[in-house]
Amino acid sequence: MEEEILHLYQEPAIGASYTNTYGEENIRNLLDKYRSLDNEGMQQMMKMVVNFSQSTDLATSFVSVGVLHALGQNEGVAEAYCWANKQEDAERMSVTLKSANRWRTTFLEPFFQFVLREPEVVD
């Protein structure tokens, strides 16, 4: 499972297409994977996402914080911010996470409302 999750972070490449400019597809694919798991798998994946949210790789951190926001994991988001503020390059890390937060409110929340909505029943 760990390799599959790592692959979901890497493919498709962030910025490689108009539909994945900020990692939207990565986030959606990670959310789909999370929802497909049993409780034990969800816990294991959540630990991975929290760990990745504290990565010095900004793209990985950005996508992870997006996943945590989408899943309502405010504690994990707070941990990522706290970690970022303690880094040698804390300003750059904080700007990236604040950027993720601004992006979340302007783009991700409407995106997640669409992605997470209940499927329509067609008669």
pLDDT digits (tens, 9 = 90+) for 33-80: 999 999 999 999 999 999 999 888 878 888 998 899 889 898 998 888
Two tokens, residue 119: 């499927």
| End-to-end CA, the chain | 37
On whether the pTM is more than 0.75, the answer is no
Q: Are 65 and 77 in contact (CB under 8 A)?
A: yes
Query: 93 near 61, Cβ under 8 Å?
Result: yes
Between helix 2-10 and helix 39-52 the angle, nearest 10°, is: 50
Which ranges of 71-108 does DSSP label H, i.e. alpha helix?
Answer: 74-85, 90-103
Confidence of residue 6 (pLDDT cuts 50, 70, 90): very high
